[in-house]
Amino acid sequence: MADLVSILVPAYNAEKWIRDTIKSALGQTWPVKEIIIVDDGSTDNTLQIARGFESKLLRVITQDNMGAPAARNKALSFAQGDYIQWLDHDDLLAPDKISRQLKDNEYRNNTRILFSGAFGMFYYCHRRARFKPNPLWQDLTPLDYFLIKFTKNAWLHPTAWLVSRKLTDMAGSWYERRSPDDDGEYFCRVVAASGGIKFVPEARSYWRVGNFGSLSNTRSGEALEALFVAISRSINHLRLLEDSERTRAACLKYLQNRLLYFYPEKHEILEKAEKLAQDLGGHLLPPEVSWKLSLFKTIFGWKIAKKIKSMEWSAETYVRKNWDRLFFY
């Protein structure tokens, strides 16, 4: 009998996208699946739309607004699957994504193997998604994953993974503070628990960008505090695998590369970051920035310069998204 796959979807104010996301889950060619949607206190029509799809395959659960990680934990508590597929409320899976990852019995029978796949970025029309390989798009040992992620600033989107229930249980629940990098920390735990990563290039998923209400765009004080905790925990996951000169150097680079999120105004976080850097055997330097941000910083100061840079990114994303939408038909 085929393994049951649980597709878990946290949803909040996603009425614009949730139909397509649900259809991509229902459309999976893998024959044995369940879909669990947790509505995280939406104030739009997300819940009503999701309930319109309820069936033996699809269950909708509600909770007060507690954030995406808490909604994921809620969905996981109801999941019965042998494998877990995470799917955010605005992203999509190719119809054969899961089937491609589970087609090889040799790997499927080893429940400590972690599956990954290719993911493409799109604004409005997923058929025009851009798939840009990075150094993590290959078979990897857990240690190699961390070294590449930390030193080359590479990552995999949450939809790219397919996780056995054994690995899911070993990794534990999602960290429920609302962090812009909650998925990065969570999958560091999953990878650390695994016996290795099997990359399946034909297993495709689609990451929608330009959703300005997403948590990844949040830069509040609370979110930045949670981000630093997520960074610290990720570093600890690597050091528990191997605490050596090379892993500490990788951790230091990872910390340095993320310093701009907090620099220069978050003094308490910067003090903690410097203390962590010293524990890793080094020190932090002022973050390197582009010439444009450096110019803005010289004229306006750091605070305004970072706001201008953020506004510039938002404006560019808005234009690209609507250009894509204009030619959707």
296 burial (CB, 10 Å; 0-12 / 13-18 / 19+) is: buried
- Per-residue pLDDT of 243-276, as tens digits, reads 999 999 999 999 999 999 998 889 999 999 999 9
Mean pLDDT by 10 residues, the chain (329 residues): 93 97 98 98 98 98 96 98 98 98 87 97 89 98 98 97 98 92 96 98 94 55 94 98 98 96 92 98 86 67 67 62 62
Of 222, 277, 287, 216, the closest CA to residue 252 belongs to 277
- Confirm whether 327 is domain-assigned: no
Last residue of a domain, one of 185, 216, 247: 216
Annotate the chain with three-state secondary structure. Answer: CCCCEEEEEEECCCCCCHHHHHHHHHCCCCCCEEEEEEEECCCCCHHHHHHCCCCCCEEEEEECCCCHHHHHHHHHHHCCCCEEEECCCCCEECCCHHHHHCCCHHHHCCCCEEEEEEEEEECCCHHHCEECCCCCCCCECHHHHHHHHHHHCCCCCHHHCEEEHHHHHHHCCCCCCCCCCHHHHHHHHHHHHCCEEEEEEEEEEEEECCCCCCHHHCCCHHHHHHHHHHHHHHHHHHHHHCCCHHHHHHHHHHHHHCHHHCCCCCHHHHHHHHHHHHHCCCCCCCCCCCHHHHHHHHHHCHHHHHHHHHHHHHHHHHHHHHHHHHCCC
Q: So what's the pLDDT on residue 311? A: 67
**Tell me, what amino acid is at 27?**
G
| CA atoms of 52 and 100, how far apart (whole Å) | 29
Domain identity same for 23 and 142: yes
Phi, psi of 39 (to 5 degrees): -80, 120
Q: Are residues 208 and 224 in the same domain?
A: no
Total domains in the fold of the chain: 2
On whether residue 314 sits in a domain, the answer given is no
210 and 229 fall within a common domain: no
Q: Do 161 and 67 share a structural domain?
A: yes
d(CA 164, CA 173) in angstroms, rounded, equals 14
In a domain, 53, yes or no: yes
Is the domain of 115 the same as that of 180?
A: yes
Sign of CA dihedral 137, 140, 144, 145: positive
Tell me the residue range of the domain where 130 lies: 5-216
| Amino acid 123: pLDDT | 87
To the nearest 10 degrees (0 to 180), the angle between helices 182-193 and 142-152 is: 150
Report the CATH number at residue 66. 3.90.550.10
Q: Which pLDDT score is estimated for 239?
A: 98
Query: Is 323 within a domain?
Result: no
Are residues 53 and 86 part of one domain?
yes
228 exposure class (CB count in 10 Å sphere: 0-12, 13-18, 19+): buried
pLDDT tens digit sequence for 64-73: 999 999 999 9
Residue 49 lies in a domain: yes
- Contact by Cβ (8 Å): 241, 154: no
pLDDT score, position 179: 86
Q: Are 43 and 78 in a shared domain?
A: yes
Residues 201 and 240 both lie in one domain: no
Q: Indicate the residue among 191, 216, 241 that finishes a domain.
A: 216
Dihedrals phi, psi of 118, to nearest 5 degrees: -85, 145
User: In this predicted structure, what is the pLDDT of residue 266?
Assistant: 93
As a whole number of angstroms, the distance between CA 149 and CA 246 comes to 14
The answer to whether residue 46 is domain-embedded is: yes
Same-domain status, 171 and 235: no
Q: What was the pLDDT predicted at 216?
A: 46
